[in-house]
Amino acid sequence: MLYEYSHVLALLRAWAADHLRRAPSGKKSEIAYMTTERTLRNRALAICRRRQGMAEGQRPQYLDRAIRSL
């Protein structure tokens, strides 16, 4: 699970940085607040826990949707 957690956290960090970079200037502070390091770590942990009980075929789809719904 540790490898999976670090992988999910890296994907969340990359998505958050890209989202923040593309955001209009008026929304940047709101997005920065929603994507703090603590928030991203908690979200990565929650995603990994949910994925453990899923069938192998559902995991990639869930990960994609979970990261994009940040």
Domain ranges of the chain: 29-70
Distance CA 28, CA 64 (A): 23
Q: Residue 1: which pLDDT band, with cuts at 50, 70 and 90? A: low
Q: What is the DSSP letter of 24?
A: -
CA atoms within 13 A on the CB side of 45: 6
Reply yes or no on whether the pLDDT at 7 is more than 90. Answer: yes
Query: pTM (2 decimals)?
Result: 0.84
pLDDT in tens, 21-50: 999 999 999 988 889 999 999 999 999 999
Average model confidence (pLDDT) across the chain: 90
Reply yes or no on whether the pLDDT at 2 is more than 70. Answer: no
pLDDT at 69: 84
Burial of 33 (0-12, 13-18, 19+ CB in 10 A): exposed
